[in-house]
Amino acid sequence: MYFYGGVPQLIVPDNPRALVSNACRYEPQINETVHDFARHYGVSILPARPYSPQDKASAESAVQVVTRWIVARLRHQVLADVHAADAALSALLPSLNERPFQKLDGSRASLFAALDSPALTSLPAQPWQWAIFRTVKAHIDYHVEVERHRYSVPHALVGLELQVRITDALVEVLHRGQRVACHVRSSQRGGLTTRDEHMPAAHRAHKQWTPERLIHWGQGIGANTGQFVVQLLHRFRHPEHGYRSCLGLLSLAKHYGPQRLEAACTLALELHAGHYRHVREILFNGRDLIARNHSAPEWVAPAHENLRGAANYQ
């Protein structure tokens, strides 16, 4: 469209699977990426019917003309790459567009300037960027996870399914087609990108979960479990970022029982292991079931015939 200098009202493409998610004869559905392209430029896209090239007969005939007048002239040239092919086509394109019609007045270039160009709408300020879409859910910590990195959204959207638009540079979060958050894309796995305006007042407006409630829940299982919850919450700049780890930790009591969870948290604290996955691995491997001797015995050298005593130095 930048070659033409404007945007048409309608685009009639083929019906490939890369563009059309449901090739219905009467209501074809384009995928999210193509729909985003159409929304950006304000253009309608109506795919041709399957196996019906007559729906875009003008385009098919134009391909035939270009093949005869341009591609045929390049058949003996060796083009190194796509850029070389573009340069060769661009050099021959004016000769085709300005070539006079045989039975009509003017040329393709003059006809375009008189009929098509005035009907085009203006181009947007920024060109469209290729984007992929995913459906995510806003977790209790008002973050969504994209490629193992968490991005914040307004806390009022906790628990809702949202749509994420991912480009090379940005991650945009959409709710019912409206953008509610925009972040610079990060490649850090396990990291957090949080905007202060997404955080609720006192970190409590989004749901009934609070650090005090999580700590109280952990202390109900055992003192060391409560201490481990406190340790998880203190690992982050904002305690709410540790909610997910705390909920995962406390959910282990449903599978292994509160006694084993308390024993695993006790062992993890002794080993200075401060992550949820450490407690999970202790329970999974059964290390909490191994009896431990808490009193460290005094080390005594074993008797050996090669050991020399004080008498050897007299």
Give the 3-state secondary structure of 37-93: HHHHHCCEECCCCCCCHHHHHHHHHHHHHHHHHHHHHHCCCCCCCHHHHHHHHHHHH
If asked whether residues 82 and 38 sit together in one domain, one would say yes
Compute how many other C-beta atoms are within 10 angstroms of the C-beta atom of residue 128: 14
If asked whether residues 253 and 280 sit together in one domain, one would say yes
pLDDT digits (tens, 9 = 90+) for 95-150: 888 889 888 888 988 988 898 889 999 999 888 888 899 999 999 888 999 998 99
What's the domain count of the chain?
3
Least confident interval from 19-28, 175-184, 220-229, 279-288: 19-28
pTM beyond 0.85: the answer is no
Query: Is 31 a member of any domain?
Result: yes
Residue-number span of the structural domain to which 239 is assigned: 211-289
If asked whether residues 219 and 198 sit together in one domain, one would say no
- Report residue 208's pLDDT band, with 50, 70 and 90 as the boundaries: low
pLDDT digits (tens, 9 = 90+) for 43-91: 988 888 877 878 888 888 888 888 888 888 888 889 999 999 999 998 9
If asked whether residues 26 and 113 sit together in one domain, one would say yes
* Predicted pLDDT of residue 204: 45
- Report residue 205's pLDDT band, with 50, 70 and 90 as the boundaries: very low
Query: Is 231 a member of any domain?
Result: yes
Q: Is the pLDDT at 225 greater than 50, yes or no?
A: yes
For residues 228 and 273, give the distance between their C-alpha atoms in angstroms, rounded to a whole number.
10
**More confidently predicted of 54 and 229:** 229
If asked whether residues 216 and 261 sit together in one domain, one would say yes
